[in-house]
Amino acid sequence: MLALGKLLELTLADKEPAEKTQMTVKGVRLRWLDKGALEVRPPEATDNGLDLLLSAGIHGNETAPIELLDELLHGIARGEIIPRARILFLFGNPDAIRRGERYIEQDVNRLFNGRHELTSGSEALRANELERLATSFFSKPARKRLHYDLHTAIRGSKIEQFALYPYKEGRQHSRAELARLRAAGMEAVLLQSKASITFTAFTYETLDAEAFTLELGKARPFGQNQDIKLNRLEARLKQIIEGNEPEDDINNLDGLQLFSVAREIIKHSESFHLHLPADIENFSELSKGYLLAEDLAETRWIVEEEGARIIFPNPKVKNGLRAGILIVPTTPEQLA
């Protein structure tokens, strides 16, 4: 196998490869760009016009997605997977990956769309570098742009595999992309309703890619992800890479649960208190009238929505950041 196919090994060892460019026996070019960053380019004659960004390890302890991208890249480097798409593989936070920690000082996935300019440190610099790499990769005109940012969660979930679809004013969510997510094994999709500061929000809002954060189960150390079933996602990613997706499921949303954001719970001070068990799972239902959270100045969040559920509850975030999202069911007819 080509040495550049071992991007994860290079990243974990904090090494720069001696050869920056290599060619597979199928004429596919691998080019090392930076720490944890590798471009894959098919021969021009077989390029189908898709630019595909696959990222993982934005949080360093989310190892199942890292292992999945590592396996896909091995397949390409061995000539077993023949890309027709141009691909950028990114391991987002190499320092945290090496330590097996979610982040070192700051959550990188809260540092995009200008947020990194308001702070300092190595992770702010990394967020800026990830924006630069994505911007350069998606700079070619008249090409389709797709970004999957793969994660695992810090807590359990009643719906284990789901996607978050960013928002941009005036832009419609794509039914075809939702069907593709369903085919990749996603059980639910959260349709966001405001601008955000995540990596996929940046590529969706600023670079006009179709972009999705994929939550794939609970975070575990390397080598302990046997219970996370990524077969459908891996199969669909191979089809996207090789340009041979079946066309019969292009608009099929059967069984896919859709949710929209009702409200975000923002932590304003150290007096913030979230009235939820520490081990509550994502997508847990909350009854109307439930006192969800309290903060300074008698600020209170009370559940008013029918069918409300909570995802990503985390009272330990920094002040000014989201401590949870209250979501409600929606339908394909309400797509916007």
- Cite the active site residues: 215
d(CA 139, CA 203): 11
Helix (H) or strand (E) holding 153: strand 144-153
Give the C-alpha distances (Å, rounded to integers) separating 314 from 176, 322, 336: 32, 8, 29
Beta bridge partners of 326: 263, 310
- Helices (H) and strands (E) in the chain — how many of each? 7, 16
Query: How many residues would you count in the chain?
Result: 336
What token pair was written down for 297?
């100045």
Looking only at the bridges linking them, the beta strands covering 210-218 and 144-153 are parallel
Strand 162-165 with 188-191, pairing:
parallel
Task: Output the CA torsion sign for 316, 260, 250, 211.
Answer: negative
**Residues 111, 124: Cα–Cα separation, whole Å:** 7
- d(CA 161, CA 216) in angstroms, rounded, equals 5
Go through 312-333 and write b for each residue having 16 or more CB atoms within 10 A of its CB, e for each that does not.
bbeeebeeebbbbbbbeebeee
Which three-class secondary structure state does DSSP give residue 60?
coil
Could you give the C-alpha distances from 31 to 17, 124, 139, in angstroms and in order?
Answer: 10, 25, 17
Beta bridge partners, 157, equal 282
Q: What is the DSSP letter of 212?
A: E
